[in-house]
Amino acid sequence: MLTETPDGLHCADGDFYIDPWAPVERAVITHAHGDHARPGSAAYLCARASVRLLRRRFGDDCVIEGLEYGDTRLIGGTRISFHPAGHVLGSAQVRLEGAGGVWVVSGDYKRAEDPTCAPFEPVTANTFITESTFGLPIYRWDRTDEVIADLMGWWDQNRAATMTSVLFCYTIGKAQRVLAELTRVTDRTVLAHGMMLPMIEVYREAGIHMLPVAPATERPRGASYAGELVLAPLSARGTPWMRRLGNHSDAFVSGLMRVRGVRRQRAFDRGFVLSDHADWPALLYTIAESGADRVLVTHGHAEPLARYLTEQGVESAVIRTAWEGEPTGD
């Protein structure tokens, strides 16, 4: 049904690629993160809720078609449908049904609740291709409300010390999830770096309830940011832009913050462990729920997860990824 090619996973029957790395004629996209949705393809097909995010990334001239979750489309002899993956707005598992049986490509997914996207929907398959960004037993997530309470405590502490709180997070998914989760504990306005604003706007247009957000740059030079919470992309860290924020504490919100060595190496004042990916237990029960008799593993810690599955008697193998950059949205 799907084969590995230099451009990515290819379905020969329907002549389309799933999350191709290079420009192709027809790209089927699981979600809008940069390591899955690459520019330059002639036509894109994705879940309806992903269309606006892709359009923001690729521009108005791009040919992008959206399918509602659960609707099917016949391409060649392959029936294709999208099902919620619970990762970010519009994220989808891709289900393919044809002569090769039923295949499900998970894309990135999580099982934790998230007010900014449709919850993961278990889909059964003969062959399940799962992500494994956090495919090691050390990765186990805390409850989201506890992480948000921690984050709020850090912000309040910085406010009391007249310091700015700078929270680094990914621009698609994590920023909006934090802004949505925070509505449960505060109604304060949050400031955001200019790079954050377009994607926050797309989420708001999609009806996602989030804290009010103001551009961090609109303040006159020399104005105080003391007590404010500022969301910024990691790429802004250490740039001159940071100087205007004055005396500040910085933090990163990511599943990567689970590992003490990473926290220390990256030298953030604080790390909040909140991930948009499945942790180790969630990967395992999702794989079990798929009912698949063959599991292919890709992205992140693919080898350890594939090895573990093989030891458990599940037919399993690794699919390599050509993506060389940092994963996004972890």
Torsion of CA 111, 114, 119, 124, to 10 degrees: -20
Q: Which of 19, 97, 108, 228 binds Zn ion (CB under 5 A)?
A: 108
Q: In the stretch 59-98, what mask flags binding to Zn ion with x, by CB under 5 A?
A: ----------------------------------------
C-alpha to C-alpha distance for 58 and 52, rounded to whole angstroms: 10
By beta-carbon proximity to Zn ion, the closer residue of 35 and 114 is 35
Q: Which of 8, 10, 16, 35 binds Zn ion (CB under 5 A)?
A: 35
C-alpha to C-alpha distance for 5 and 8, rounded to whole angstroms: 5
CB of 262 to Zn ion, least distance (A): 18
CB of 276 to Zn ion, least distance (A): 7
* CB-based contact 216:193 (threshold 8 Å): yes
DSSP code at position 118: P
By beta-carbon proximity to Zn ion, the closer residue of 134 and 225 is 134
Q: Which of 252, 309, 291 is nearest to 102 (CA)?
A: 291
Residue 223, Cβ density class (10 Å: 0-12 exposed, 13-18 middle, ≥19 buried): exposed
Q: Which of 26, 33, 83, 258 binds Zn ion (CB under 5 A)?
A: 33
How many residues bind to Zn ion according to rule CB under 5 A?
Answer: 4
CB of 35 to Zn ion, least distance (A): 5
C-alpha to C-alpha distance for 85 and 109, rounded to whole angstroms: 5
Angle in degrees, CA 23, 24, 25, rounded to 5: 140
Q: How far is CA 224 from the centre of its chain?
A: 33
CB of 57 to Zn ion, least distance (A): 13
Residue 329 binds to Zn ion (criterion: CB under 5 A): yes
Residue 181 binds to Zn ion (criterion: CB under 5 A): no
CB of 225 to Zn ion, least distance (A): 30
By beta-carbon proximity to Zn ion, the closer residue of 146 and 303 is 303
By beta-carbon proximity to Zn ion, the closer residue of 81 and 275 is 275
* Binding region for Zn ion (CB under 5 A) out of 3-11, 106-114, 149-157, 180-188: 106-114
C-alpha to C-alpha distance for 319 and 58, rounded to whole angstroms: 27
By beta-carbon proximity to Zn ion, the closer residue of 139 and 225 is 139
By beta-carbon proximity to Zn ion, the closer residue of 98 and 107 is 107
Instruction: Please compute, for residue 258, the number of CA atoms within 13 A of its CA located in the half-sphere on the CB side.
Output: 17
* Binding region for Zn ion (CB under 5 A) out of 68-76, 103-111, 135-143, 306-314: 103-111
By beta-carbon proximity to Zn ion, the closer residue of 66 and 255 is 255
Q: Locate tokens 């093989």: which residue?
A: 310
First-residue to last-residue Cα distance in the chain: 29
* Binding region for Zn ion (CB under 5 A) out of 33-41, 135-143, 289-297, 309-317: 33-41
* Binding region for Zn ion (CB under 5 A) out of 3-11, 100-108, 248-256, 257-265: 100-108
By beta-carbon proximity to Zn ion, the closer residue of 86 and 98 is 86
Q: Which of 41, 134, 52, 47 is nearest to 86 (CA)?
A: 47
Residue 300 binds to Zn ion (criterion: CB under 5 A): no
Count of Cβ atoms closer than 10 Å to residue 206 Cβ: 15
Give the interface with Zn ion as residue ranges (CB under 5 A): 33, 35, 108, 329
